[in-house]
Every structure is written in structure tokens, then in C-alpha cells.
Structure 1
Amino acid sequence: MARHHTVRALLVGGPMYDSLYDRLPAFERATGLHVDVVDRLPHPELNARVKREFESGAADFDLISTHTKYAPSQATWLSPLDAELGAEIDDFLPQPRELSRIDGALLQVPRYLDVRLLYYRRDLLGGSSVTVPRTWDALIEAATTLTRPGIYGFLFPGRDSGLFGTFYELLVSAGGHLFDANLRPAFDDAAGVWAADRLAELHDRRGLTPRELPAWHYDEVSASFRRGEAAMVCDWPGSHHLYKARATCDVADRVGLALLPSGPAGIRAAYSGCHSFAIPRTARNRAGAVELLRDLTSTAAQLGEARRGAIPVRASALAQIRAEAAADPAEAHRWELLTRTQEAMIIPPRFAAYPECEDAIWHAVQRAMTGVVSPQAAVREGAQHIVALLARERLSPQPNTV
């Protein structure tokens, strides 16, 4: 098909994301456009490909998946969308809408909001012997009690943004901060050491997680829990549908939901942000890309994802899914937990060098988690790496709230 009738899309892929793309055949029939999905990649691999192809000048994409925390590092390649969206952007909730702007320009359109909940086995927790943990230290003790051959106490991603996010939640729950007001690393302190130490306790010292964990990201830990191999895991709303059916979850009839634990400072923290879509400045079929972006972020699309568990960022879709959930006690309870969790959202600072800072942190924390270095050495190493990195950068952080 002629290039001007083709929309080339580079998309995030995986069990949390792929169901949205079932809309593509209907979109093609309605528009006469052909959507060429160049690839569907997990986010770490997606980010690497975006960086590699745009830096080399070889990129030939009309639409890309991105994320509100990663887009500032890609901003030079992305085009403003204010004119195309117009008043339609007003249906998007204020904070996701603001997170999608960089230096005032709408460079991405949000897909959904992410915050995690604690998934647990109701046949293993919730009784008089092992209660559902309300603190991270209680979670470690519960995981210790429940770990046995064939069952791990608690699963968390052992690499990339998943490991960073778990460390970040622990850090803030202990009263810590990633950066100070001047974007200097602030996690090389008692709170940071405690956070890294908790991960080392879970994986290295007590052996409550699989030895393969350093190679596992979100999809792997979710799949392991759903095979019945673990007592607890934290997961995103977009994965919720996988926990509800026996076809995708061997323990679907025994899954419970709870808030994330709080830390020693009495704080509950939930790592958050928005998946999104963007159109590169170099798009060869911008008109077609705008049509596809509108379809993938439409009220109907967001409602479809919300029915699988995601948190929509359009007010119209959110109102509809909340009305539907009210009639289902289990879903009403889940939405109550998600609403409370959104009150505990933490969002990393948004600036161009952020992805490299995240990488420095998770690599250092992983070394503590696996017992290669002490927690103290790990947070010091991560902070020193970031100081050196930011010394070379012109910092221009974006606002995280409205």
C-alpha cells in the first residue's frame, strides 16, 4: 500500500497493552488506512529502539508509544498536538493532561494512569495465622512464613523500571526523596539505605524470591504469581483482567487485593505515571497518525481498557466505568483501593536525563539486592553516578502536578 495510506506505528507490547490493538482492523476498515505495526516491545526495549533510531536519523515512524516520565528525553523528536486535539483535550483529566505537556506544548496524549495494588493469595493470607500486611516490614515477615518449596513469599521486578519503582516506593515510604529541590540526588541517606536493604533482605538474605528474579520484569513476576508460584505480588491495573480468569490465572478464585504497604515513616507511596502516544516531527503520514492516535485514546478505547482493569484518563470514560463498577462488589472494592492509592501517588521528576538516572539507580540497587555490595554502597554508588551525569546536563524539569 502507498506510504501516504500507511501509518507506521512503534508500540509498547505485552499482556498489559496488547488488547487495545484489537481495535486496529476496525480502524483500518473505517479509514481506509493501513496500520503497519513495526514492532511491539516491552518498555525498556522500546525506549532503547526509539533512542537508537532517532539519534541515527533512521526513524520512520508516524506514531510511537511513550510514557510521561520518558517523553521529556524524547521531546526533541516529538511534535506538538495542541492544534489537532483542540477542545477534545479538555475531556482528559487535569493531571494526566499536564503530565503530557513539555515546556507548555502537548507532545503526547495519555492512554491511561498507572498505580499498583498488592495482589495476594486469599488461601494463604487473611486468616488468623498470616494477616494481609499493612507495612513493608510486615510483608517481609509474612513472606518469610509463607515461603516453601513451590511457593515464593513475594515477587517484585528485579530489573529496569520495575526494580526502580519498588525501590522508589520503599524510599518514599521511609520518608526519603529521590532528588532535592535543586535536582541533586537525595536518596543516599538512611531512607535510601533502608529501601535497598529491604530488597536485599527479600532476595539475597532470606531467599523469598526466585534466584532468576534479577532477569525478571513486570510480565515475568505477574506470570509466576498467576501460575500459583507466589503468595504476593504488586501489579498494575492494566494486568487485572489476567488475574480474573482461570485461562490466564491458575489461582483466579483465590486472588485478593489490598493497598500497598506503608513504610517506617507511616507513608504509603505508589509509583505512578501515564502511558501515552506521540507523533514524531519526522512522521511522513501525520494526518493518518492523528486519526490513529485519536482512535487509540478515544472514550471507547479507554473504556475498553478500563473494563480490563486500567484507569482511564478521560473524564467521560472514568465516569462510565465507575458507574459500571458500582454494580459489582468486587470491582467497587477495587476502585475504592485504586482511588485511595491515587492519593499516595509519587511521580519522578520529569527532565531529559531522567531515564539515565533511573538506570543508574536500578543497576546500583540490583547490586545490593543480589548481595554484591552493601545497601550503603549501592545508594552511594547510584548517587555518585547521577551527580556525574547531571553535571553534563542542562536541567529543565517539568511540573508534575496542577
Structure 2
Amino acid sequence: MPLHSSRLAVDEGTPVRRRPWPVWPQPADGALDALSRVLRSGRWAISGPYRGVESAERRFARRFADYHHIAHCVPASSGTASLMLALEACGVGAGDEVILPGVTWVASASTVVGVNAVPVFADIDPETLCLDPDAVEAAITPATKAIVVVHLYAAVADLTRLKEVADRHGIVLIEDCAQAHGAEFEGHKVGTFGAVGTFSMQQSKVLTSGEGGAAITADPVLARRMEHLRADGRCYGDTAPLSGRMELVETGELMGSNRCLSEFQAAVLTEQLGELDRFNARRAHNAELLDALLVDAGYRPQRSAPGTTARTYYTYAAELPEAELPGADIAKVTEALTAELGFPVTPSYSPLNANPLYDPSSRSRFALGPQHEKLIDPARFVLPVSGRLTRRLVTFHHAALLGDESDMRDIAEAFTKVLQHGAALAA
């Protein structure tokens, strides 16, 4: 790497990179035609009138299930909705404890509170940034009903150990795969190891329709419960209705809410799914090259758990070298990297026990009594590994990994330049 005597770009120096970066999302070739077909179909939602053809939602559900080699997929309006479906279908409710990683997107925790359960934050593994199985074991109480394992950023959690802990204690394991579409553990897709696997298809995700989600399961009972929960207590009937009638049947089995995916989103997702593996392969190839370059510079890229056979790169994450940046202000470091590269480089998610986006006390709907309010107070948790690592992690979105080798060298050059000006970035 070249030595940089010039000033940092953030201090009006010359940036490493001025050329544009790849943008995301990138539509599949058939996406526009798929949208046009829905637009002219006379059915824009699964609650719309049946027109004698299979719904786009059913087509996507079948293909997403087939992609995972699993029996059932229930699409939903978002990743948050999908996780809520999974929790409620598995019987998680008022007063139940659900163990979560201390570092994850805030919706992992707010969704648990949303079903009147109690989030319990466990610390993370310093290599993978995912749930530490030993911390999970220590957090289990008689009130523990479920473990939600999040495959964070570009790592797969230690599913072997987490599944063993869950099975031994008779606790439901749910996989939050919002950032891991297509990742594999021991040759099987993530989302197929727990009772339910949940996914987000929000704008930034590697499989996206702008907003959307899905839950997958091998259990037909859980699948039927999730169908009811996402469509106001209705589900598809066993036979097709007359044209013009609603395809959803009012069974009276289970009260639900409206968390349905639109026909437009389902049509886009079906087309985008055909491109997922190609995009994932490109990101993985570039990430492997970037790993080698950054390790040489002293950074420590995120690792995946032993047993991982395919990684999905939603976010690239690396820990700052302690020797070169012993007292770095992470905000200053990421600001400097952003200025050098021309795309956002950010700190990691804040630990949930100190995350400003997670504050149940700010909403009166969660004020269910003094005891419950104490239980859902995030400040009661101590997460030393999460706290230490999030002060040292830099991250960026997967779009930057869709370029070529020269793009990865630009990223590595910027990271090296920032190291060489480390004294100016001290806290």
C-alpha cells in the first residue's frame, strides 16, 4: 500500500476515490414485466379477488421454500412482521423471556416487546459478533421460552452449539436471517435449523422488494398458524374459489393482523430470487480479497462460525487495529473513511442496552405495570464484549462489494491511509 503524506480528505486533502460505486438495488431482467403483469391482473393483494390464476405471493412462497429445501414459506409485509409471526406461532407471549444478541438491529428487540414478551440480551462472540452460546446458557431461566439467533452482517452464528443448548433446555430456537439470505451452515441454508427462519426484504437487503419479509418452517402446524396471523385470521382454502371471489377463507381458528405482502412485492421478489446466488458469489469473492488486504494492514475482519459453508455479505465489518489506533474515536474514523471513499462507512449497531432506538419506556403501550417495565428496561443488562467491540468496529453496505478487484484495492488503500493519520483521529 502507498504511504500517504497528504492530508485526509475529511481535512480537505485529496480523497482516495472519486469514481462512483455500484448502486443497490439492481433489478432483475424480468422485474419490470412481472410488475406489469400484476398491474394489469386485477389483483394487487392476496385479499383481492381471485382471477383464475395463482397469486404472485403463492408463486414466491413456493420458490423461496424450494430454494431453502423446506416445506413451507409464509410471506409477510416486513422482516419485523415475519419475526412477530414466528414468535406468536411458537407460543411466545406475555411474560415469556426471549434471549437475543446484545448487538443486532433494534427491531429484533422491539418485536419481542411487541408480543408482550421480555427481551433478555446475551453477549456476543468477539469473532463472529453473533450470539455467544455460553452467554445464552447463562441467561436461561424458568421463564425462557425462545432463543432468537441473528446471523449478523456477514456471519453465520454457531448453530451447532446454539441448537444443542436450545434442545437440551426444551427452548424454541428461531433464526433471524434478515441479513443472511443464501448463507449456509454445514451445507444447509440458514433459516432451516430452528423451528422458524425469518427474513427481511427491505430496500438494503441482498434480496429486496423495497419492503417485505418471509418466514420459513418445516412444521405444517406452525405454517398454518403464521398464515392466519398475517392475514387477519384467514388463510388460503384447499380449493380455488370462483373467479371474482376472495381466495382467503375465514376459518375462525386464530385471530391475526394484516401483515401481508402485496402482489407487486411478491412478483419482484420472485424475479430477484433468480439473481441472488450470482450477486452473493460476487460479494463473497470480493470480500475474500478485501479480507486479505485489510488483515495485512492490521484490521480484523468479522469471521463466521466454524461449520459455515457459504457466507452472505449484507454488511462488511472489521475491527480497528489496536496498536495503530489505540484511542480512536470511532465516529471520527468512520467519517474519515467515508470522505476517502465516497460511500457511507459507519460504526456498528450500538449495543441494545444503550441503543437510543430501543427505549420501551417511550411508548405507553408497553407500560403493563411496574414489574414488567423493570423487566424490559434495557439498562439492566451488562454486555462487556458488545460494548468493547462496538467502539472498535467499522462497517459498510454490501453494494461496495459488487465492484471489481480495483474497487477492493481502493477500499483497502483508504483504510490504510486512515491508519497512517491515526493520531488525528484520537478520541
TM norm. shorter chain > 0.5:
no
Mark the structure with the bigger radius of gyration. 2
* Greater length-normalized contact order (CA 8 Å, ≥ 6 residues apart): 1
TM range (shorter): under 0.3
Which one has a larger percent helix, Structure 1 or Structure 2?
1
